[in-house]
Copies of this chain bind each other. A is one copy, B any other.
Amino acid sequence: MPPPLLAALEAGGTKLLCAIGTADDAAAPRFLSRASFPTGDSPALALGAVADWFRAQQAAFGPIAALGIASFGPVDLDPASPGWGRITATPKPGWRDADVAGVLRAALPGIPLGFDTDVNGAALGEQRWGAARGLAEFVYITMGTGIGAGGMAGGRLLHGLVHPEMGHMRLPRLAGDGFAGVCSFHGDCWEGLCSGPAIAARTGRPADELPADHPVWALLADTTALAIGNLVCVLSPRRVILGGSVRKAGGLGEAAFFARVRATLRERLAGYIAHPALADGIGEYMVPPLLGDDAGLAGTLVLAEQALAAARTAVAGLAPVPPLCAPSSLSATP
């Protein structure tokens, strides 16, 4: 029997990335086709184009077994809420209260649907095929237009009252950094200090155009190290994955940027949490995503796969099991 055909929608603030694929290969996600649509300011238009594309893929490849959606947010993830599957208080024009899951459910009736945040999607992809393979506790951070993070504790994606908004942590200000920050809610939270728009406001140029010797890199790396240090204190992750465009660090380059973040992180933790991963192992502890820019779409296939498994369990009349319980072998230290 061929593996079930899965559909994935990774909804970002600029682009809606779509794919058809399978998740049965332990070595890598398999994509059969892909497409990209502008997010724009009309959810009806954009999601209509996505639905049309998925229907065209069904005509070409056969029936879609399940759909995963990993969306920019904030989103409503509460299965008991009438607003489940919607984007909530986004400042993005047109998208406030957009019913992303509802529109696609109506367009593709009868297909099980999984829905989560964009960062939890990428976290799932890295856990299945990337840098978090085999880990039940880890964090996936993205630094780009905004700063967000997802991840797992006890083998389950982080959810709660709503979902994590780690980019909005407050941090100590570095000596000499008087920048007010660009977060419209908090000013100088982590996102306000270190996101792409923060860099542009600080320097007058986009991050990817800044030379290696620009002083903003040290400031970004050291502030980010403080933030990651806090995540280590709160979550005790087994690995921290840092993705997003800012981590590529323009003229400085990813390797040099990571080296600085790691050195500052280690110095700031100051040996209090005594573990080799936070000392000589720091280079393996804080890493870029192995799947690169495919982490999100890959993880969204996994979201679809989990929705399919949950639907099959329900049909079989079995008690639903939490889909993300990790086997005990997931507790291995990297």
Contact = CB atoms under 8 A, between A and B. Distances in A.
Interface in A241-278: 268, 270-275, 277-278
Interface string A305-334: 000000000000000101011101001110
A238 interface: yes
Contacts of A86: none
A238 B166 CA distance: 16
Interface string A209-234: 00000000000000000100111111
A128 interface: no
Nearest to A277: B161
A171 interface: yes
Secondary structure of the A side of the interface?
loop
A161 B268 contact: no
A226 B168 CA distance: 11
Contact of A137 (B160, B273, B328): B160
Interface of A: 74, 78-80, 88-89, 137, 153-173, 185-186, 188, 226, 229-238, 268, 270-275, 277-278, 320, 322, 324-326, 328, 331-333
Given A156-B156, A161-B238, A172-B188, 6 more contacts: A80-B331, A154-B159, A162-B275, A185-B271, A186-B270, A322-B325
